[in-house]
Structure 1
């Protein structure tokens, strides 16, 4: 079933869109709508983790160290997305969390594209 990454990529693309929508809703002062989007986003966090675990269990043996690092950075991305939204809602500073989010996303995306199941953009 999980010979390809379609479901995993679809879930994280939708999650990124929902994250951006939630931030935009907060900036426009629509707190209730932001809360609804954030709850839907949390479902997508679970779907991302589920599809990621399924892919990891099937393909992790091809390069266990890098797949493990990608898995950890993926979890950091999800955690930082949630921290940015929570701290934004509470009116606290989010600069450090945005920085960690962006760096973790770049690393995760690079590893996902670099690994054997990825797009091989960075093949040597």
Structure 2
């Protein structure tokens, strides 16, 4: 099961959808629904980390530095997603967190596509 990235990609794709839904719910002022979606999103954060750790443990021998950097990028993405939601809920500025989130996502996605168990778009 963990020789491929299907479970990992599915969990982060669902997490991105839940993140967008939580943002829309926050903007619309629906606090109760936002709380529910955010709790489900946090479960998906754990699933992303679990599938990522499993893939890292099984495949990091290809290039430990790049896989480690990708792993770190994934943790930064999760942290920034959470910071954007929390600070949006508190009506605080989120610009820097959005910038870090977008940059980390681009770098992490590039590494995921470039590394051997990725899609090899850049090989």
Whether these two folds match at TM > 0.5 is yes
| Alignment match, 1:96 | 96
Q: 1:56 & 1:96 partners in 2: Cα distance?
A: 29
Please, what TM-score do these two structures have when normalized by structure 2?
Answer: 0.99
SS in 1 for 2:79: helix
The number of residues matched between the two structures is 123
| Alignment match, 1:75 | 75
Q: 1:35 & 1:114 partners in 2: Cα distance?
A: 36
Where do 4+ consecutive residues of structure 1 move more than 3 Å?
none
Give 1:31 deviation, angstroms: 1.1
Please, what TM-score do these two structures have when normalized by structure 1?
Answer: 0.98
Give 1:119 deviation, angstroms: 0.2
1:1-124 matches, within 5 Å, as: 1-123=1-123
Q: What are structure 1's unaligned runs of at least 5 residues? A: none
